[in-house]
């Protein structure tokens, strides 16, 4: 039987980042992906993501700040700009707290961690950025380290590292059909009719997590949000940072957006509602069709509050976000001790995690190699359930 020191299952950004970290070691590594690499079939669909360091929780802000040096290291490997550092603008109703945080709580954490930011009134936001008719009671801040992640370029950079590494094998279009974790320490992964053994397994299946956990008779309680986004044609020479607006009611009024970039519909600007079109349990339930309702809210926001954009939604798409159902920001843990060798089987899934990709690669590879990480992952423990 073919043997690897580490097998990583799930070749999305987290799996690629893990294998890219492992490529720096002498450990033989296999990364298995059920589809082609850099696909749009999981949580990483959609080209742009937001990078930000502000969080309502100190431990999340610390991780985001820490991730910068891993992004810088990845940036050294490619000529593509991975994060366009245009800054991050958060504004809205100061009383509101959503799952993305809350303005005051994030400012308190930034104060505690000495992260620089500029507080802004509604008038200052309108004066400095192309927004209009912002309610006077709104406030917000601008944080300069935020930006727009080119998620395609990020995955390409990671793939290039893995592909060029002597100790990393990449298998695309290879669904895993069984996993057995034996009492003798061996873990057997079956894929394409072939049994492959390892002692260390990293699972990075994203939205497909319950497809993999069923091999251990386990599941996790996740919701998968299918979310819409659209692009709007620029009619004036406007410049935007990445931004997020917090308002009530949250199920119709949370929006976020991006600057114009030359790698995704130049001449257009992406704006999206931060609400689910549909909450699904399995990626196979994805429709790929943006809901008229959320695009309607989005267009109304663009019409009523943005300057310099045509209000017709174009290049619409949906993406999937896998979220924990017990308010955990990320899900990252070993398997429970009902599973043989559970300390050697590490699972990551879920969360608004694009901003952490290279850091999570480091954490997952450290856990695979040494069963420890220098980072505090205690907040991401997984409450496993029996398989459904
Ligand atoms: C985030 O920064 O985590 C985020 C940004 C936009 C939508 C949802 C989440």
Predicted model pTM: 0.96
Is 352 tagged catalytic? yes
Cis peptide before 249 (omega within 30 of 0): yes
If you average pLDDT over residues 69-97, what whole number do you get?
95
Question: What is the 111 CA–ligand 1 centroid distance (Å)?
Answer: 21
For CA atoms 307, 311, 315, 316, the dihedral sign is: positive
pLDDT more than 70, % of the chain: 98
If you average pLDDT over residues 48-68, what whole number do you get?
97
pLDDT at 99 over 60: no
Closest of 55, 49, 81 to residue 319, by C-alpha? 49
pLDDT at 128 over 90: yes
* Ligand 1 closest atom vs CA 352: 3
- Does residue 189 contact residue 196 with C-beta atoms inside 8 Å? yes
Is 256 tagged catalytic? yes
pLDDT more than 90, % of the chain: 91
Question: What is the 374 CA–ligand 1 centroid distance (Å)?
Answer: 26
- CB of residue 329 inside a 6 A radius of ligand 1: no
For CA atoms 237, 241, 247, 249, the dihedral sign is: positive
**Backbone phi, then psi, for 81, in 5-degree steps?**
-80, 120
pLDDT in tens, 100-120: 568 999 999 999 999 999 999
Q: Which of 256, 272, 350, 354 to mutate to test the pocket of ligand 1 (most atoms within 8 A of CB)?
A: 256
For CA atoms 337, 338, 342, 345, the dihedral sign is: negative
- CB of residue 52 inside a 6 A radius of ligand 1: yes
For CA atoms 25, 30, 31, 37, the dihedral sign is: positive
- CB of residue 270 inside a 6 A radius of ligand 1: no
pLDDT in tens, 262-303: 999 999 999 999 999 999 999 999 999 999 999 999 999 999
Closest of 383, 318, 342 to residue 42, by C-alpha? 318
pLDDT in tens, 170-187: 999 999 999 999 999 999
* Confidence tier at 47 by pLDDT (50, 70, 90): confident
DSSP-based helix, strand, coil % in the chain, nearest 5: 30, 30, 40
Give the range among 39-43, 58-62, 201-205, 367-371 with minimum mean pLDDT.
39-43
Is 225 tagged catalytic? no
């Amino acid at each position: 039987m073919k043997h690897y020191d580490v097998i990583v299952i799930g070749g999305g950004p987290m799996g690629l980042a893990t294998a890219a970290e492992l490529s720096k070691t002498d450990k033989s590594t296999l990364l298995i992906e059920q589809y082609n690499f850099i696909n749009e079939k999981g949580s990483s669909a959609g080209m742009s993501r937001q990078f930000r360091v502000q969080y309502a929780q100190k431990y999340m802000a610390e991780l985001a700040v820490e991730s910068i040096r891993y992004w810088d290291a990845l940036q050294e490997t490619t000529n593509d700009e991975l994060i366009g550092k245009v800054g991050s603008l958060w504004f809205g109703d100061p009383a509101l707290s959503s799952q993305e945080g809350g303005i005051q709580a994030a400012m308190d954490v930034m104060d505690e961690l000495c992260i620089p930011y500029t507080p802004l009134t509604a008038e200052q936001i309108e004066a400095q950025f192309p927004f209009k008719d912002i309610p006077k009671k709104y406030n917000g801040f601008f944080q300069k380290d935020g930006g727009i992640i080119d998620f395609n370029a990020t995955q390409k950079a990671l793939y290039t590292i893995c592909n060029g590494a002597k100790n990393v094998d990449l298998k695309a279009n290879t669904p895993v059909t069984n996993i057995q974790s034996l009492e003798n320490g061996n873990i057997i992964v079956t894929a394409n009719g072939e049994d492959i053994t390892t002692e260390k397994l990293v699972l990075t299946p994203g939205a497909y997590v319950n497809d993999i956990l069923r091999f251990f008779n386990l599941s996790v309680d996740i919701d998968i949000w299918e979310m819409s986004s659209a692009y709007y044609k620029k009619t004036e020479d406007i410049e935007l940072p990445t931004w997020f607006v917090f308002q009530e009611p949250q199920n119709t009024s949370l929006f976020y957006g991006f600057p114009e970039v030359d790698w995704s519909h130049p001449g257009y600007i992406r704006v999206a509602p931060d609400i689910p079109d549909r909450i699904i349990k399995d990626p196979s339930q994805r429709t790929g069709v943006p809901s008229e309702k959320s695009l309607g809210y989005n267009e109304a926001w663009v019409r009523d509050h943005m300057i310099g954009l045509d209000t017709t939604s174009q290049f619409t798409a949906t993406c999937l976000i896998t979220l924990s159902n017990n308010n955990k920001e990320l899900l990252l843990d070993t398997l429970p001790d009902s599973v043989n060798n559970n300390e050697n089987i590490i699972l990551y899934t879920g969360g608004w995690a694009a901003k952490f990709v290279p850091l999570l690669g480091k954490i997952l590879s450290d856990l695979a190699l040494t069963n420890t990480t220098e980072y505090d992952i205690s907040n991401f423990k997984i409450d496993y359930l029996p398989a459904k």
